[in-house]
Amino acid sequence: MISKIQLFLRLSIGALLLTHAFPELQAQTADEYFMLGNNAYASGDFARAKENYMSADKEKSAAEISYNLANTCAKLGDKGEAMLHYMRALYQNPRMREAEANMSVFAKDNSLETPDGIFTLPFFAELSHSEWAYIAFALFWIFILLLVVPPLYGVKGMATTFMAILSFAFFVFAVVAERDWNSYSNLAVAIKNDTKLKVSPVDDAPIASILQQGQISSIEKRSGNHIKVNTKSGKSGWASLSEMAPVFAK
């Protein structure tokens, strides 16, 4: 008969061996999963790296996680997911040059489109969506204050008027940049081969057209687990979220 102490020791040793063989069982935070993903990637175990990066991504949204996940998906040949996560990395940190460069090379090597032409002016892509929103908010109130406060104290002059006009002009630029980022966040990527676009947002609806993995489209409407998308080539229809993923998951 095995005593309770022997049983406890055997179970404890078994648990230690299990967690040593599968360190993912000990990971609890996004940073821990991220480090496990880095270790797996460095050892060439891309499947395990992807699993850990996805766990990290569920815990925390960060450009570094999305970028590493994109590189891992590229190694595994998951074209749609690679494009999706490169785009998410750039949405989170538009100044991540390595993500921009890797996405361009990956898209070229796999004959995929990149989200070019979204931004009215190139420098709009230098700041993030949230940064432009903060700038627009600040410039709006600066403009209002320049209009309202000086007359209250009897202050008039060309300098105040010029500053008000200048702040309003930059406010308009910020609003346009924010609109462009809204368009970027409203993109979706086909993450499955032969992604089906249907005529209505139900599973048994007739198929209108097919998209290949990695193709980008704009979201027109959302309904439950489906999104209605339009491509540059003119294809349109309802896609399941299991086959087509938005860049910005609302």
Query: pLDDT digit string (tens) for 114-152?
Result: 998 899 999 999 999 999 999 999 999 999 998 888 777
Q: How confident is the model at residue 98 (pLDDT cuts 50, 70, 90)?
A: very high
In a shared domain, residues 135 and 88? no
Q: What residues make up the domain containing 53?
A: 4-109
Q: How confident is the model at residue 83 (pLDDT cuts 50, 70, 90)?
A: very high
Residue-level pLDDT at 9: 43
In a shared domain, residues 45 and 69? yes
β-pair partners for 196: 210
In a shared domain, residues 90 and 162? no
Residue 50 and residue 55: Cα distance in Å, rounded? 9
Whether 22 has a pLDDT exceeding 70, the answer reads: no
Return the amino acid letter for 77: G
CATH of residue 231: 2.30.30.40
Lowest mean pLDDT among 11-15, 161-165, 206-210: 11-15
Residue-level pLDDT at 23: 53
Q: Which pTM value belongs to this model?
A: 0.85
Under 8 Å CB-to-CB from 40, ≥6 apart: which residues?
A: 46, 48, 49, 52
In a shared domain, residues 57 and 32? yes
Residue 191 and residue 227: Cα distance in Å, rounded? 14
Residue 15 and residue 28: Cα distance in Å, rounded? 17
Q: Which of 58, 86, 109 lies at the terminal end of a domain, its last residue?
A: 109
Sheet-wide strand order for 236-240 = 207-211, 195-198, 236-240, 226-230, 216-223, 187-190, 244-246
3-class SS of residue 216: strand
Give the chain's mean pLDDT: 89
DSSP H or E stretch at residue 172: helix 158-185
Return the amino acid letter for 225: N
Structural domain contains residue 116: no
3-class SS of residue 128: coil
Q: How confident is the model at residue 18 (pLDDT cuts 50, 70, 90)?
A: very low
In a shared domain, residues 102 and 128? no
What is the Cβ-side half-sphere exposure of residue 26, based on CA atoms within 13 angstroms? 12
The pLDDT tens digits for 34-51 are 999 999 999 999 999 999
Structural domain contains residue 115: no
CA angle 63, 64, 67 (to 5 degrees): 85
SS in 3 state form for 52-108? HHHHHHHHCCCHHHHHHHHHHHHHHCCHHHHHHHHHHHHHHCCCCHHHHHHHHHHHH
Residue-level pLDDT at 24: 52
β-pair partners for 226: 223, 240
Residue-level pLDDT at 244: 96
Residue-level pLDDT at 151: 76
Residue-level pLDDT at 150: 77
Q: Of 91, 23, 75, nearest to 52 (Cα)?
A: 23
3-class SS of residue 226: strand
Structural domain contains residue 223: yes
The pLDDT tens digits for 45-78 are 999 999 999 999 999 989 999 999 999 999 999 9
Question: What's phi and psi for 60, nearest 5 deg?
Answer: -155, 135
Question: What's phi and psi for 125, nearest 5 deg?
Answer: -85, 0
Residue-level pLDDT at 147: 87
Residue 160 and residue 147: Cα distance in Å, rounded? 8
Number of domains in the chain: 3
